[in-house]
Amino acid sequence: MPDLPTNSQIKIGSKVAIEKKEDQDTGKLIHGIVKRKLTSSNVHPHGIKVELEDGNVGRVKKTLSETSPVSKATSETVSKIDVTIPKDEDTWNEFKSTFQYDLQEETFRNEGKIEAADARRNDKKRIRDDIQKEVSITVSAFANQEGGRLFVGVDDDSSSLGLERDLTYFNQSKDKFKLAIVDSLKKFLKNNAFIAKLKFEFTNAGNDECLIILVPKSTEPVYLHFSNTQEAYVRIQNRSQKFNTEEFLKHCKDRF
């Protein structure tokens, strides 16, 4: 391993490549902008520990630019999302087949279960809201834990389904599709300040395309609002777990 950057060589706003704890010995590095340094000494055998502006925490393996530190105004365009699709869902990764398209209705029709398919079509508004709600649940759960990546257009087994089904609702416009997701998040989360911190990136997944939503670690609780109720979710392993009031208060005491 080449000499690792020292604390004095790493500046707030610098673009760096970090290795997260769970990625040790895998060769996987995440690029981003340094928000704060978490190691006080000038050197560390495994690298200086930092937190990036997207919420990721890890040890700096290399700096990516010798230029002056990147300002906050430009960090949005410089920082890139890791577009690698993992094999499984875990604490930091979640797959959603669609944003609002009802795959179950499609399955029923393909299986010749027309009555069941028609029943879902007749109830399409509620079902669409439920499917959209799942995206907001995942975003809030990631926010209330350590952050993460939500892949839209990827099935539970990590196989790519693509975005074509969802894009039919938006005249194949990815911009309109992304805006619809943002509007849905605003409706369910009612937290525009946090939603503004999300990053979106379309990427190829095999022969298809998926959307990655990068969710940073929040500095305050992010709630889900639905049917005049307020719900709290926290990411635990590969699930977005709903917490009751007492559980969430305990979590917030340790987390925020």
3-state secondary structure labels for all residues of 90-112? ECCEEEECCCCCCHHHHHHHHCC
pLDDT value at position 127? 96
Residues 152 and 241 in one domain: yes
- Which residues share a beta bridge with 52? 34
Q: Which pLDDT belongs to residue 2?
A: 56
Q: Which tokens sit at 199?
A: 């990053």
**Beta pairing partners, 234:** 241
Q: Determine whether 18 is exposed, middle or buried from the number of CB atoms within 10 Å of its CB (0-12, 13-18, 19+).
A: buried
Same domain, 103 and 17: no
Distance CA 11, CA 77 (A): 18
**Is residue 218 in some structural domain?**
yes
Residues 127 and 185 in one domain: yes
Residues 27/41, Cβ–Cβ less than 8 Å? no
Single residue among 19, 40, 72 that ends a domain in this structure: 72
Count of structural domains within the chain: 2
113 and 213 both lie in a single domain: yes
| Within a domain: 185 | yes
Find the CATH number of the domain harbouring 209: 3.30.950
Same structural domain, 60 and 143: no
**What pLDDT was estimated at residue 175?**
95
Residue 80's pLDDT is 57
The one-digit pLDDT tens for each residue of the chain (256 residues) are 457 999 988 988 888 899 998 888 777 889 888 889 999 898 998 899 999 888 899 999 998 854 333 333 333 333 457 788 888 999 999 999 999 999 999 999 999 999 999 999 999 999 999 999 999 999 999 999 999 999 999 999 999 999 999 999 999 999 999 999 999 999 999 999 999 999 999 998 777 899 999 999 999 999 999 888 999 999 999 999 999 999 999 999 989 8
Structural domain range at position 125: 93-255
Other CB atoms within 10 A of residue 111 CB? 10
Residue 256: per-residue pLDDT: 86
| pLDDT number for residue 180 | 97
Residues 139 and 36 in one domain: no
| Domain assignment of residue 27, yes or no | yes
**CATH number of the structural domain spanning residue 66:** 2.30.30
Q: What angle do CA 153, 56, 47 make, to 5 degrees?
A: 135
At 208, give phi and psi (nearest 5°).
-115, 180
Whether residues 49 and 111 fall in one domain: no
78 in any annotated domain:
no
- Residue with tokens 């869902």, as numbered in its chain: 89
Q: Which of 22, 43, 72 is the last residue of a domain?
A: 72
Residue 16 in any domain: the answer is yes
Task: Say whether both 136 and 240 belong to one domain.
Answer: yes
- CB contact at 8 A, 34 and 50: yes
Q: Is residue 1 domain-resident? A: no
Q: What is the pLDDT of residue 137?
A: 98
Quick one: pLDDT at residue 105?
97
**Same-domain check for residues 22 and 143:** no
The reported pTM is 0.70
